[in-house]
Amino acid sequence: MSLTLYVGSKRYSSWSLRPYLALAHAGVPFTCTTILLDRPNTREEILKVNPAGRVPVLHHDGAVIWDSLAICEYVHELAPDAGLWPADRARRAHARAISAEMHSSFAALRGAMSMDLCADKSGQGHTPEALADARRIQQIWRDALAVSPGGGPFLFGAFTIADAMFAPVATRFRTYGVDMDATCRAYSDALLADPAMQAWQRDADAEPATRA
């Protein structure tokens, strides 16, 4: 099994972080190759590995899969025993629904509070629309955690694709100093302390800044 995940700058690429975490939690060996964003040759380098011109993209034995959620689903099929979706049908549907909501929504938050793992921008980006998105996200977290086996630490007990989808939000809340209640704070802290997240953060810390 030969798996290579091409990602954008680990400091900035929220879309890339998600499948990286899914692969790490699946326990399958993979290579992660970073293409730095916002450089003169960035688009050229991405087009070499993905004709759609986007990262992340996964290469596996001749297959090319792009889009973060599609990659996560593919990884689930490669390692079905890893528990990347809950085993229970109703919980699995819930996890897929909130993952899809994260994937397709919250444009105001994305625009006002773009991911930057190595910055402190506390108080910036707090537009009414972005904060409304943040409140909705925290309600999603509280609702899932309220019925999570054992009460957490992740949304469905053990780490799932749903947690991978929301991990970049935890970094945004930290970077921009978004207020959280104790429940959401504990969940965010669990995501940020995850060993795979910590490994990604170390790589991000070593990257050059390419954005103001």
Query: What is the pLDDT averaged over residues 132-161?
Result: 95
Q: Which has the closest alpha carbon to 74: 56, 47, 52, 54?
A: 56
**Angle at the Cα of 19 (from 160 to 112), degrees rounded to 5?**
95
Mean pLDDT of 57-76: 97
The terminus-to-terminus CA distance of the chain in angstroms comes to 39
- Residue-level pLDDT at 11: 98
Give the pLDDT mean for 49-71. Answer: 97
According to the model, what pLDDT value does residue 150 have?
A: 82
Spell out the domain ranges in the chain.
3-82, 89-197
Tell me what the mean pLDDT of segment 105-130 comes to.
98
Average pLDDT over residues 35-50: 97
What pLDDT was estimated at residue 72? 98
Q: Is the pLDDT of residue 212 over 80?
A: no
Work out the percent of the chain whose per-residue pLDDT is above 70: 99
Q: Does residue 1 have a pLDDT over 70?
A: no
Which range among 2-16, 63-77, 147-161 shows the weakest confidence by mean pLDDT? 147-161
Count of other CB atoms within 10 angstroms of residue 141: 25
C-beta of residue 155 within 8 angstroms of C-beta of residue 194:
no
Q: In this predicted structure, what is the pLDDT of residue 74?
A: 98
Residues 162-186: what's their mean pLDDT? 98
| Mean pLDDT to the nearest integer, 40-65 | 97
89-197 CATH, one of 3.40.50.300, 1.20.1250.20, 1.20.1050.10, 3.40.47.10:
1.20.1050.10
Please write the tens of the pLDDT for every residue from 129-142.
999 999 999 999 99
pTM: 0.97
pLDDT mean over 94-107: 98
What CATH number does domain 3-82 carry, 3.40.50.150, 3.60.110.10, 3.40.30.10, 3.40.109.10?
3.40.30.10
Residue 211: predicted pLDDT = 87
